[in-house]
Chains A and B, each alone.
Chain A
Amino acid sequence: MTMPQTLIALLRRELTLAMRRRGDVLTILFFFVIVASLFPLGVGPDPKVLRLMGGGVVWVAALLAAMLSLGRLFANDYADGTLEQLILTPTPPVVWILCKIIAHWLVSGVPLILMAPVLGVQFGLPADALWVLVFSLLLGTPVLSLIGAIGAALTLGLRGGGVLVSLLVLPLYIPVLIFGAGAVDSTISGLGAEAHLSLLGGILILAFMLTPWAVAAALRISIE
């Protein structure tokens, strides 16, 4: 098989597996909705406060949901031995790792992006801020999947891996949170979101170039 064929086959495999277990995808989506809906109950229904908080809350919820979904990235393949077979294939690890991460983003990141405007409306965000929210998530959630893959690969097969991955990954998510939520905030305050979105795009490019190598190294450490 040529490289593109391999990639397409891998991507299809990942997506088929995800579609067979639709429950996992929906659980994470509902987690996202519930976390975001808890905030108004906690801080009170004042529309002014909620509008100020909205972008940040949706982003924090997206961060937590992305982190929760990391378990599925390698764990199942590790448990049934597929991961070892993938390592033995002639395809370079970086390539199939990127494939898996893209599939993971399509399955767990894209639903969050689609759901985010609904949550934004709950918080009374104006229309232009809603668009910025969607766009910032579009740039930011792939970074969450990319960075999270490092944590997922390092904690493969460890006891308490789920909690551990949050300790490893959440501090590294902070820049994404700052620029993502900042983009929404600065739209509301009329400053314009270009600077934040550009930086978010920069982080995405950097993560896209560097993290697959780190994930490959991490998998080699965890599996040998």
Chain B
Amino acid sequence: MSVFNWYKFSSPATFYTLAGKLVPWFYAAAILLCVVGLYISFFMAPTDFQQGEAYRIIFIHVPAAWMSMFIYIVMAGWAAIGLAFNTRLSFMMASALAPTGAMLTFVSLWTGALWGKPMWGAWWVWDARLTSELILFFLYLGFMALQAAIDDPRRADRAGALIALVGVINVPIIYFSVKWWNTLHQGASVSMTKSSSMASIMLIGMLVMALAAWMYAIAASLSRVRSIILERERNAQWVAQMLEAEL
């Protein structure tokens, strides 16, 4: 078996082409999974006997919340790889992931509010999960604002990577402190933790939707990283050659 040279793709030029080939596939997978997931969640999943039809928003809300946390960890992972191995592409991946992560965080907060109104009678409850999701949103914003404020791309990459790593160390501390704070204050007595009697079809719908969100996140960040590569490498020879070939 021949050894596959993974390092080939750490060069922005080769990765640009690879990402270009992958993006349509991931978008297709995202759309397909989303259609299947929405069909399961709207037509196959039964109506919840306590929450009625309004519960169906969790098919958007929960996958968005999962992905928002997952993307932050992936982003910090790329940042760590970038700092450790000094690979430019890893930093570009980290900055390409941030807007998607922030968007999904926002979606999960927004749908959480829409769900909270019929369930808890309030748009916003200082529930532990909602609060830590809000703080996660702030962490994303801080990362993006820091990168936007620095003109030198090298410094922007590294500074962003460092704050992403500091953030990822803090996320569990923040989560547990918020949880502790919430239980002591006894603010919302309604817990989001459902009893274990969740119908398996609901779970399947949620998982399919989560996969759809995952595929979408990959597709969106790959196409974003392509723009970042082009922007950074605009003076490189391969970009000029590629543009000539296209013309």
Contacts and interface: CB of A to CB of B under 8 A. Distances in A.
A218 B139 CA distance: 17
B72 to A, nearest CB: 12
B170 interface: yes
A64 interface: no
Contacts of B142: 167-168, 171
20 contacts: A155-B146, A158-B150, A159-B149, A168-B145, A170-B138, A171-B142, A171-B170, A171-B174, A172-B167, A174-B174, A174-B178, A178-B177, A178-B178, A178-B180, A178-B181, A182-B180, A185-B184, A218-B159, A221-B162, A224-B155
Nearest to A186: B184
A205 interface: no
B149 A164 contact: yes
A150 B166 CA distance: 9
Interface of B: 83, 135, 138-139, 141-142, 145-146, 149-150, 155, 158-159, 162-163, 165-167, 169-170, 173-174, 177-178, 180-181, 184
Nearest to B181: A178
B177 A218 contact: no
A174 B177 contact: yes
Interface in A174-202: 174-175, 178-179, 182, 185-186, 199
A161 B149 CA distance: 8
Contact of A167 (B138, B162, B174, B178): B138
Summarize A's interface: helix, strand, loop or mixed: helix
B162 A218 contact: yes
Nearest to A181: B181
Contact of B138 (A171, A214, A218): A171
Given A168-B142, A182-B180, A217-B162, 5 more contacts: A171-B174, A172-B166, A175-B177, A214-B166, A221-B162
A16 interface: no
Interface in A123-156: 150, 154-155
